[in-house]
Structure 1
Amino acid sequence: MNTDTAAPLFYNAIGPWHRWFAWRPVDTVTHGWVWLRTVQRRRIQLKLSLPGPIRQDWQYRKETR
């Protein structure tokens, strides 16, 4: 799975990937739930064509090293 172009349904990526320490459990795109590990995350936003307020969230992936 190419996670550089993977975005959740109805969301757009609005930021670049950056490193973050998962101090709480997070659901990653690549490896399921991880905790107490370094992951990458980026900001995603609900598509503006959908009704309702603008909603932003995070998308996570496990670092590949």
Structure 2
Amino acid sequence: ARFRPDGGKGTEFVHTLNGSGLAVGRTLIAVMENYQREDGSIEVPEALRPYMGARIDPGGRVIG
């Protein structure tokens, strides 16, 4: 979500406190349901990989 500050040019991302902007649990469940592999592992979606504090192989698996 973005907003345009008063008198500002362009838009900025909004910031939320304690996940109040979205249902964190439901969001996580949706990712798990949609990216679960047959072996039970979860592929990290490409759009989320830059935000992960872990190394991820090209197939989306966490390394280490």
Fold equivalence (TM over 0.5): no
TM-score of the aligned structures, taking structure 2 as reference length: 0.19
Pair member with larger Rg: 2
If each structure's strand is expressed as a fraction of its own residues, which one has the higher value? Answer: 1
TM-score of the aligned structures, taking structure 1 as reference length: 0.18
If each structure's helix is expressed as a fraction of its own residues, which one has the higher value? Answer: 2
